[in-house]
Amino acid sequence: MFINLKLFWRNVRRLSGDDAYECYLKHHREHHQDVTPLSKAAFFRQWQDEKWNGIKRCC
């Protein structure tokens, strides 16, 4: 039961984007060690800009 709850919570965080910064840091450690990662505030500012700026419709 506890393991299922943990898995459920991990999936909720993934779907909501709550774990986006942790995923970014993991990717950054694995692929971009020569560059300083963004701060949490800068990451979310960039993430929100990419998500909401620009035309987001089909027509």
- Tell me: the pLDDT tens digits for 26-55? 999 999 999 999 999 999 999 888 888 877
Please indicate, yes or no, if residue 29 is contained in any of the structural domains: yes
CA distance 18 to 31: 22
In a domain, 52, yes or no: no
Picking from 3, 6, 23, the residue whose alpha carbon sits closest to that of residue 14 is 23
List the domain range (segments joined by +) for residue 30. 2-46
User: Does the pLDDT of residue 58 top 80, yes or no?
Assistant: no
What confidence score (pLDDT) does residue 54 get? 76
Identify the band that residue 1 occupies on the pLDDT scale cut at 50, 70 and 90. low
Count of structural domains within the chain: 1
User: Cα(18)–Cα(26) distance, rounded to whole angstroms?
Assistant: 14
- The answer to the question of residue 25 being in a domain is yes
Banded pLDDT at 21 (limits 50, 70, 90): very high
Domain assignment of residue 54, yes or no: no
Q: Is 57 part of any domain?
A: no
On whether residue 53 sits in a domain, the answer given is no
9: in domain:
yes
